[in-house]
Structure 1
Amino acid sequence: MKYSSIFQYAYLVFAVLFTYDGISKWGDGSNGAYISLGLAALAVFMFYFRRRFNKKFQNRNNQS
C-alpha cells in the first residue's frame, strides 16, 4: 500500500505542472491553456479520490 500513497502525491505534482503549463500558455494566447487547466483540475480530483479510497481500504483492513 505504500506505492499507492506515493502515486497519490504524484497527482499533486502533475497538477502543479499542468497549472504552470496552462498559465504559460494562457499568456501566449495558445488554445491549449484550457486543456492544461482541465487536466490540472482532473489531477486534483484524482488526488482526493485516491486519498479517500486508500483511507477506506485501510479502515477495512484494520477492522478485519
Structure 2
Amino acid sequence: MGYMKYTQYVYLVFAAFFIYDGVTKLTQGSNEAWLSLIIAGMAIFMFFFRRRFLKKMEERNKKQ
C-alpha cells in the first residue's frame, strides 16, 4: 500500500499535461481543446478521489 501514496500524484502530472495541451490547442482555435480540458478535469477528480480513498483505508487499518 505504500506505493499508493505516490501514484495519486501521477494524476496531477496528467492533469498538468492535458491543461497545457488544451490551452495550446485553444489558442490555435482547434475544437479538440475541450476534450483535453475535460480529461484534465477528470484527472484532477481522480486525484482527489484516490486521496480520499487512501485516507479511508488508513483509518480502517488503524481501527483494526
Tell me, yes or no, whether TM beats 0.5: yes
Matches within 5 A, 1:1-64: 1-64=1-64
- Runs of 4+ that moved beyond 4 A: none
Q: Which amino acid aligns with 2:21?
A: D
Give distance in 1, aligned partners of 2:5 and 2:33. Answer: 29
Give distance in 1, aligned partners of 2:30 and 2:44. Answer: 23
Q: Matched residues, percent identical? A: 53
Query: Normalising to structure 2: TM-score of the pair?
Result: 0.96
How much has 1:12 moved relative to structure 2?
A: 0.4
Unaligned regions of 5+ residues in structure 1, if any? Answer: none
Q: Which amino acid aligns with 2:56?
A: K
Q: Root-mean-square deviation (CA), in Å?
A: 0.6
Query: Normalising to structure 1: TM-score of the pair?
Result: 0.96
- 1:14-63 per-residue CA deviation (whole Å, 9 max, x = no partner) reads 00000000000001111110000000000000000000000000000011
Give distance in 1, aligned partners of 2:33 and 2:55. Answer: 33
Unaligned regions of 5+ residues in structure 2, if any? Answer: none
